[in-house]
Amino acid sequence: MLRGTDLGEVAAVLFDKDGTMSHSEPDLLTLAQARVFACLEQVPGPQRQPLRELLERAYGLEEGRIHPAGVTAVAARDHNLIATATALAQVGLGWPEALAISEAVFAASDRTDRRRSGEPGSTSDLTAGLRPLLEQLHAAGVVCAVISNDDRAGIKHFLASHGLGRMFAGFWSAEHRPRKPDPAAVHGLCAELDVEVGRCALIGDANSDLQMARSAGIPTQLCLGYMAGWSSPPPLAEPHPLIHHWSELAVRAAD
């Protein structure tokens, strides 16, 4: 139920990770800023300001925050890398050089990304109130899974760091094919979970998540937009039901 409204019976809930389960904005902001700084060191002085502006627009960096619909927030790592190489090419670098610099910058920046360090507690925080909801779903026998454009290692580390492994039956990552936002990603994950798409809910923080869910066959009232994972609310389109805090959802076991 959402704020007292019955959404219907579900067998599984598919969760986006960054910006939905994970309060990842501080870590993504640090990572994006590190990538900008490293890129600027690779070009002559006159090219730096134009490159900074291009990269900040591409990454969705604005006044110390991340735009929730920008490439840093939504896209997989390889798409961020291509956006970086494109910005370098726009200030005059040849494509092979731009791509090589981007790959080197990303490799170096990844080593500073605490979400990838592998150390206990070195991952983004859970969004407020998520754990009690997951406990309710687990107790009610509802299957939970992650569908994310993070890689396998990132998803596994996130779940393990928060002790959530027992509550999640599977995941679909950027390394799966096809990956989100292709609706076939939903079909692939549901097949692995052995649940019908029409009996699933999907919760995400991007219009691409919600459109993917609808196109895959998840009922519209079960394509839920999560609003509280970023400092700026994501620009989610109607008619999707919106969640402003996890406490607005209640789980009622089937009779």
Please report whether residue 5 resides in a domain: no
pLDDT at 240: 87
Least confident of 153-157, 175-179, 249-253: 249-253
Q: In this structure, is residue 199 part of a structural domain?
A: yes
Q: Are residues 82 and 133 in the same domain?
A: no
For residue 2, being part of any structural domain is answered with no
Mean pLDDT of 175-200: 97
Q: Which of 1-5, 61-65, 105-109, 190-194 has the highest mean predicted lDDT (pLDDT)?
A: 190-194
CA distances from 232 to 22, 29, 36, 175, 255 (A): 15, 13, 21, 29, 40
Cβ pair 148, 174 in contact under 8 A = yes
Dist. CA 161–CA 105, nearest whole Å: 27
pLDDT (tens digit, 9 = 90+) per residue, 92-133?
A: 999 999 999 999 999 998 877 665 655 555 688 999 999 999
- Which of 116, 137, 158 is a domain's end point? 116
Q: What is the Cα–Cα distance from 13 to 169, expressed in whole angstroms?
A: 10
Q: Considering 55, 90, 116, which residue would you say is the last residue of a domain?
A: 116
What Cα–Cα distance (Å) separates residue 117 from each residue in 114, 123, 140? 5, 8, 34
Task: Say whether both 63 and 166 belong to one domain.
Answer: no
Q: Return the half-sphere exposure (C-beta side, CA atoms, 13 A cut-off) of residue 195.
A: 24
Q: Count how many domains the chain has.
A: 2
Is residue 196 within 8 Å of 177, Cβ to Cβ?
no
Q: Which CATH number fits the domain that encloses residue 204?
A: 3.40.50.1000
Question: Residue 54 belongs to what domain range?
Answer: 25-116
Amino acid symbol at 112: T
Q: Which amino acid is at 6?
A: D
pTM > 0.95: no
What is the mean predicted confidence (pLDDT) over 158-165? 94
Residues 103, 33 share a domain: yes
Q: Kindly report which listed range (68-77, 81-90, 137-146, 212-221) carries the lowest average pLDDT score.
A: 68-77
Domain final residue pick, 85, 116, 147: 116
